[in-house]
């Protein structure tokens, strides 16, 4: 278990965390356009998602006094072999934990692990409003810019939620060198600390 600020701990997620993680995620599904998912998944579905991610990628939770405050994980950018050195980033924080440095701590941990695996390019697909509204702001875009990501592309009015159309911005960060003979990306279980 890694120590961060104060008594905050960053650790690898477990399938048993599904219920607490879903409690963090559900308000984003029900009350925001941050995720384009319409229905809150079941605990069992969330458990399967955690297991699937951990087969190759890091999945971290931030906890304090055994209470999970947020989580972040990587997943395939696209499934084709040529995209194997790219990963998509995802982060969700409990509503009362925003703007406290927790997201930065989780992302640093995640990026460090991905670099050890041999991942080179990180991507974040972020919903963007035409004009900020009660369902979506540009906070995630601002966060990623502060973390060193830049806008690599934009899809216009491709997401429909709450009877409104939203754009999708793709942000990118390169974390290591691109070589002619690139070593294969290692699965997370080969590099993780116990």
Average pLDDT over residues 119-137: 98
Name the β-bridge partners of 128: 167
Q: How far apart are CA 106 and CA 163, in angstroms?
A: 33
pLDDT of residue 7: 86
Name the β-bridge partners of 74: 89
Q: Read off the pLDDT of residues 135-144 as tens digits, 9 standing for 90 and up.
A: 999 999 999 9
Is 39 exposed, middle or buried, given 0-12, 13-18 or 19+ CB atoms closer than 10 A? exposed
pLDDT over 80 at 62, yes or no: yes
Whether 72 and 90 have beta carbons less than 8 Å apart is answered as yes
Prediction pTM value: 0.93
Q: How far apart are CA 93 and CA 95, in angstroms?
A: 6
The H-assigned helical ranges of 38-79 are 43-54
pLDDT of residue 194: 40
User: Taking phi first (over 0 means left), then psi (-120 to 50 degrees means alpha), and beta for anything else, what does residue 11 get?
Assistant: beta
pLDDT over 70 at 29, yes or no: yes
pLDDT of residue 6: 57
Mean pLDDT over all residues of the chain?
94
* Residue linked to tokens 């399938």: 15
Lowest mean pLDDT among 31-35, 37-41, 63-67, 168-172: 63-67
- Which is nearest to 153 in space by CA: 119, 120, 121, 125? 125
pLDDT of residue 99: 86
Q: Read off the pLDDT of residues 80-96 as tens digits, 9 standing for 90 and up.
A: 999 999 999 999 999 99
Q: Read off the pLDDT of residues 144-159 as tens digits, 9 standing for 90 and up.
A: 999 999 999 999 999 9
* Residue linked to tokens 């925003």: 98
Separation in Å, CA 47 to CA 15, 38, 173: 5, 18, 29
Main-chain dihedrals φ then ψ at residue 97, nearest 5 degrees = -110, 10
Whether 93 and 24 have beta carbons less than 8 Å apart is answered as yes
Cα 7 to the center of its chain, rounded Å: 23
pLDDT confidence of 193, banded at 50, 70, 90?
A: low
């Amino acid at each position: 278990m890694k120590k961060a600020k104060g008594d905050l701990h960053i650790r690898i997620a477990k399938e048993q965390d599904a219920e607490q993680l879903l409690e963090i995620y559900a308000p984003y599904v029900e009350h925001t356009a941050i995720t384009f998912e319409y229905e809150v998944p079941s605990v069992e579905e969330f458990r399967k998602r955690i297991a699937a991610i951990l087969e190759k990628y890091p999945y971290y939770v931030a906890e304090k006094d055994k209470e999970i405050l947020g989580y972040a994980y990587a997943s395939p950018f696209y499934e084709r072999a040529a995209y194997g050195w790219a990963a998509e980033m995802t982060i969700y924080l409990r509503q009362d934990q925003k703007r406290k440095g927790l997201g930065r701590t989780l992302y640093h941990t995640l990026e460090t692990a991905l670099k050890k695996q041999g991942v080179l390019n990180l991507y974040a697909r972020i919903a963007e409003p035409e004009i900020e509204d009660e369902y979506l702001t540009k906070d995630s875009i601002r966060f990623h810019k502060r973390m060193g990501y830049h806008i690599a592309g934009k899809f216009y009015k491709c997401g429909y939620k709450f009877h409104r159309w939203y754009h999708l911005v793709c942000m990118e960060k390169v974390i290591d060198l691109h070589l002619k003979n690139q070593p294969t990306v290692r699965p997370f279980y080969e590099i993780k600390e116990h």
